[in-house]
Structure 1
């Protein structure tokens, strides 16, 4: 189960199960049936088209139960890999490579447990942050990008803006972050296997962001 502490320190232990229909029970849903289930939040096809990842979440009062299905597109009857996520608000899933998935998770508290937001006219307006988790298509070896950059991870609420998945480099993605320390937008290369990030470029005062294609970025 993914916990808030895991997001903070990136010490994730993600349980994985492969679901098969027991004898006498209804068969597992087809891909079409799964996509029509209430609670499907996002779906993404792998770069080769051989696998489909489906994010499913059900609201249970003030909590949610989220899970990730990874299905083979190469043949019927292959049971999906099911990755329990638990009470986390996963906004979107995408593929970093044929073997690694990216989960953008919305968070409402910082690394210290303090609510994210700002004061406005006597009220507190809550605004979410985001974290980016990379996990194997088999549900194993999850890592949180930027988690090893302790100061940045604690200071910045939004650390999940993907600029390019770099199809020619399956181990890395390009990420954009507003850095208060630098006072500017910054471009990072993130390793989806280890969670490590490298600073590539710091924008100027007028920099809005970067456009990128196949790992080649140009400032805007």
Structure 2
């Protein structure tokens, strides 16, 4: 296997673009090579097979979506409250909007995972670890609610993002902030710690 990390990253970013644009069925080594602007056959030197490419693309999507620590620190300056949770959820929506291609590619990977046990196991592991980290962060930050609050917020926001990015007419851009606030207010009652 080839060891040029910059080229591997470029190939994975091209794979994410292909997944978002053409779906999992369109993800071929040839499409990735074309998307990365490299000679045909290059991606087959970096990935053992299509399953390896899919799994590594999922890992790359997660890496692209993680906010920089200094950005998190800035977001956490206000006092822990339901209002801060609302702002954090709005920030999440903005971050995902900036990484729309990655989010759509992840949706494709999730669908593909229903047919590929190894991919399902890796995505389950990664998403579960992210969820556990979110629970730890929420509790350590003193935000209102408990582990169940974080789980329900995760599920509600996942559904909202799915609607917004796949069927944008269901929840318009203008309605998004209000809907996020409604979700948080329904899940995190005022004064709950």
TM-score by shorter chain over 0.5: no
TM-score, normalization: structure 1? Answer: 0.24
TM-score, normalization: structure 2? Answer: 0.27
Between Structure 1 and Structure 2, which shows a larger proportion of strand residues?
1
Between Structure 1 and Structure 2, which shows a larger proportion of helix residues?
2
The higher-RCO structure (CA 8 Å, 6+ apart) is 2
